């Protein structure tokens, strides 16, 4: 089935996108060392997938303390900005539109990844017991490690981090990105502030839900001042049930996720940002988002809505046709199929995904997947 609705144009901020197929942020751990710098290899990977209507870069840490996995790229140094410019130039040369995902992992890190071996930082000194950081143990090799108990940020440090998000947004524009996405999902720093499980502060950033949303609100406001709301998106990962292990992959399970995330989406609506991206659980037997939540999202947010989470083209098209989504993101299929939009539109078969090269490495499993030859 060709799913024609996914091939139709749609506006996003100032852009008119060619189609509704999205390359979402996908961690691939290919940055150059030392310095966590985007490379020509990465530029080719993104260029191959520039047929997407819209692209979001892999998470790129806004400062050294924001890294939770070896070899992920940053966007805080001059060399990193130059490296990303190679990527955006390649994407734009093929007609693509690409935003940078601004990332800070907070407590999901390890001393080996932190400046001077310090403890990771977080809203509160509560360890991410089910999460794992990934540290380098030798050239091109590493291992998963349990994150230590983090250090709670002071109020002044939280405000300084808001400014760092704004600076990262400036850096992204300097690097040629068309806009930025704030990573507020998957149990990382902004998600930690939102969550009552990870945030037990007693200052203006903790306690009530309104206070727990303050960090998000201030980041959105600060980044809007840099890039404008039409060049800003935010990603959430609401989870309505699940185990502690589930929280590692999709976020933190709140006592009332519907209320928590609709209130968070109201923050975005008030700022008039371009889009909301919702990352759903994508493992076997994962809990589905309730239809009532999808309806509430659409009623609350007037910008574009992107859904991701093991979607088939058929399932994604149904959501668009129902008016509940505007764009659909495909993760694993886009890794294995650089020409995924054309395969969807023309009903061509898909390449299978290989585990080789998913995280780290060189060309294998990264830029060597073939396009369809017919």
User: What pLDDT, in 10s, does the model give residues 248-288?
Assistant: 545 678 999 999 999 999 999 999 999 999 999 887 777 78
Task: Considering only CA atoms, give the Rg of the chain.
Answer: 19
Residue 202, pLDDT score: 98
| Other CB atoms within 10 A of residue 39 CB | 15
- Domain layout of the chain by residue ranges: 4-346
Q: Is 35 left (phi over 0), alpha (psi -120 to 50) or beta?
A: left
Residue 163 binned pLDDT confidence (cut-offs 50, 70, 90): very high
H or E stretch covering 175: none
DSSP strand pairing (133-138 vs 141-145): antiparallel
Distance (Å, whole) CA 133 – CA 27? 13
User: What pLDDT, in 10s, does the model give residues 16-31?
Assistant: 999 999 999 999 999 9
pTM value is 0.97
Q: Is the pLDDT of residue 374 over 80?
A: no
CATH T-level assignment (fold) for domain 4-346: TIM Barrel (3.20.20)
Residue of 46, 76, 188, 366 marked catalytic? 188
Residue of 184, 170, 364 lying closest to 275 (CA atoms):
184
Distance (Å, whole) CA 177 – CA 211? 31
User: What pLDDT, in 10s, does the model give residues 129-143?
Assistant: 889 999 999 999 999
Residue 246, pLDDT score: 47
Say if CB 86 and CB 40 are below 8 A apart.
Answer: yes
Across the chain, what does the average pLDDT equal? 95
Mark whether 188 is an active-site residue.
yes
User: What pLDDT, in 10s, does the model give residues 204-217?
Assistant: 999 999 999 999 99
Distance (Å, whole) CA 16 – CA 274? 12
Residue 366, pLDDT score: 98
């Amino acid at each position: 089935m060709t799913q024609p609705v996914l091939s139709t144009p749609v506006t996003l901020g100032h852009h008119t996108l060619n189609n509704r197929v999205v390359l979402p942020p996908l961690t691939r751990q290919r940055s150059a060392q030392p310095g966590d710098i985007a490379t020509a290899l990465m530029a080719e990977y993104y260029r191959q997938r520039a047929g997407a209507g819209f692209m979001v870069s892999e998470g790129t840490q806004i400062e050294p303390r924001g890294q939770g996995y070896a070899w992920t790229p940053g966007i805080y140094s001059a060399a990193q900005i130059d490296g990303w410019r190679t990527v955006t130039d390649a994407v734009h040369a093929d007609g693509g539109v690409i935003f940078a995902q601004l990332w800070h992992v907070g407590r999901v890190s390890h001393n080996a990844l932190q400046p001077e071996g310090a403890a990771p930082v977080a809203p509160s000194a509560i360890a991410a017991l089910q999460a794992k950081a990934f540290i380098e143990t030798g050239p091109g090799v590493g291992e998963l490690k349990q994150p230590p108990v983090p250090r709670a940020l002071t109020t002044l440090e939280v405000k300084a981090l808001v400014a760092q998000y704004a600076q990262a947004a400036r850096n992204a524009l300097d690097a040629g990105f068309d806009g930025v996405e704030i990573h507020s999902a998957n149990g990382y720093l902004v998600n930690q502030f939102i969550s009552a499980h990870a945030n037990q502060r007693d200052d203006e950033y903790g306690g009530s839900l309104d206070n727990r949303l303050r960090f998000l609100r201030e980041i959105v406001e600060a980044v809007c001042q840099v890039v404008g709301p039409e060049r800003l998106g935010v990603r959430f990962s609401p989870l309505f049930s699940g185990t502690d292990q589930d929280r590692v992959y999709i976020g933190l399970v709140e006592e009332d996720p519907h209320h928590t995330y609709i209130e968070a989406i109201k923050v975005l609506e008030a700022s008039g940002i371009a889009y909301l991206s919702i990352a759903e659980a994508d493992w076997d037997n994962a809990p589905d988002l309730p239809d009532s939540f999808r309806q509430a999202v659409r009623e609350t947010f007037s910008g574009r809505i992107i859904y991701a989470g093991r979607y088939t083209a058929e399932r994604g098209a149904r959501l668009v046709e129902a008016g509940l989504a505007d764009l659909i993101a495909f993760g694993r299929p886009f890794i294995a199929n650089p020409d995924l939009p054309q395969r969807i539109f023309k009903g061509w078969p898909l390449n299978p995904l290989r585990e080789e090269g998913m995280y780290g490495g060189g060309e294998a499993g990264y830029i060597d997947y073939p396009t369809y030859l017919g």
